[in-house]
Amino acid sequence: MRFSTISTAVLSASIVSAALLSEYNTQTLFNPNELRLIETATGQQWISEADKLQLKRAGKKFFDITEASDAVKVAVDVTYPTEVKFNGTAAPYIANLTIDNMKANLEIFTSFYTRYYKSTTGADSSTWLFDTVKAIAAVNPAIRVFPFHHPWPQTSLIARIPGVNYGSATDKTVVVGAHQDSINLIFPSFFGAPGADDDGSGTVTILETFRALVQNGFTPNNTVEFHWYSAEEGGLLGSQAIFSEYAKRQIQVGAMLQQDMTGFVKKTLDNGLPESLGVITDFVHPELTAFIKKVVSAYASIPYVETECGYACSDHASAAKVGYPSAFVIESTFGDSNPYIHSTRDTIDRLSFDHMLEHAKLTLGFVYELGFANLTSSA
């Protein structure tokens, strides 16, 4: 099945806008006619980059598997704790989480004209993120912070806190992820995409969790990694590259939690529903998801609500695709999530930093609990 290409009217408007926006230096590698192999819930097909945009405009979710069609799969033997154990010990770390840090970082992150993964400003934003994470990690020389390079300008980023068991057979890496890119679906090469919620909110949520852990001397038993993925909006490209590489190297990822969109609550409240954390229940690891519900109940000040987001809806799907247990928590039910994403209207003023703080509490609890858990047997 083919999808219609971008309209002549939109393309013409985009070309005109290009001259007006040259000051932003958003030169890209975008080629609307480039063919890409994509995978949806119903199968695989070759389509153009322009048709990929049409899919996203229609709300269709997919992997772009052009470079990852032969990904190796792994088998991970993992069992999750039956109960939350460390919320008392983790309390000082939770208390160190601050809204002010998240707000300051998001103000900077959304100041880049677009974080589109093929743009120069997208590359600049990943450089800023790398420098910021590197500065936080400087207090502990054992922590490694490194870019994961791709064929496009924007790099993914990995920060590794080695566990006491690092390199041993019992070590299971615990991963927290968010995607750093943004997109404007009118035409990503030319129009701005502040991406405050999608996924600037998730980016700064896990960044604040990382800071609170590192600056308070967190030394887990299992290795913990924080990932900021490039090119999620292009079809989960960055996360696929990373998890495909991990699978080839037989790295044992015991759990992966994605934080994509953590700040929008207005639609939930307008609909008369209680503020809550949306726990995704489709295309996720059921046992890991069940444990995350326990973490929400123990660490967050608001409850969870079950919701679904469909096939390949965020970067946790890249982990699952190669065999790693993964899960996803979003800001609300999927139907009540931010309607302003993928446009110039996805701005900070629409977000609740109090809600983002609840996501940070969940993320920290997830990392702390599984960082010290025996993931190879019942704990």
Give pLDDT, residue 105. Answer: 98
The most distant pair of C-alpha atoms in the chain lies apart, rounded to whole Å, by: 61
Collect all residues with Cβ–Cβ distance below 8 Å to 154 and sequence separation of at least 6: 115, 117, 118, 119, 122, 123, 125, 126, 180, 181, 230, 231, 238
The DSSP string of 118-164 is: TSHHHHHHHHHHHHHHHHHHTT-TT-EEEEE--SSSPPEEEEEE--T
% of the chain exceeding 70 in pLDDT: 91
Rounded CA-CA distance 175/173 in Å is: 6
- Cα 349 → chain centroid: 21
Give pLDDT, residue 13. Answer: 35
Q: How far is CA 212 from CA 65, 135, 215, 263, 295, in A?
A: 36, 13, 6, 19, 18
> 377 falls in which pLDDT band (50, 70, 90)?
low
C-alpha to C-alpha distance for 241 and 252, rounded to whole angstroms: 16
Position 18 pLDDT exceeds 70: no
Contact 209, 158 (CB under 8 A): no
Assign domain 71-371 to its CATH architecture.
3-Layer(aba) Sandwich (3.40)
Mean pLDDT is lowest, of 67-76, 273-282, 289-298, for: 67-76
Q: In the structure, what pLDDT confidence band is assigned to residue 84 with cuts at 50, 70 and 90?
A: very high
Residue 324 token pair: 């790693």
Q: Answer whether 341's CB lies under 8 Å from 350's CB.
A: no
Residue 20: the pLDDT is: 34
97-143 pLDDT, tens per residue?
Answer: 999 999 999 999 999 999 999 999 999 999 999 999 999 999 999 99
pLDDT above 80 (res 76): yes
Supply the DSSP symbol for 197.
I
What does the domain layout of the chain look like in residue ranges?
71-371
What's the pTM value of the predicted model, to 2 decimals? 0.92
Q: pLDDT tens-digit profile of 30-59?
A: 688 899 999 999 999 999 999 999 999 999
Q: Using one digit for the tens of pLDDT, what is the confidence trace for 213-271?
A: 999 999 999 999 999 999 999 999 999 999 999 999 999 999 999 999 999 999 999 99
The band of 12, judged by pLDDT with boundaries at 50, 70 and 90, is very low
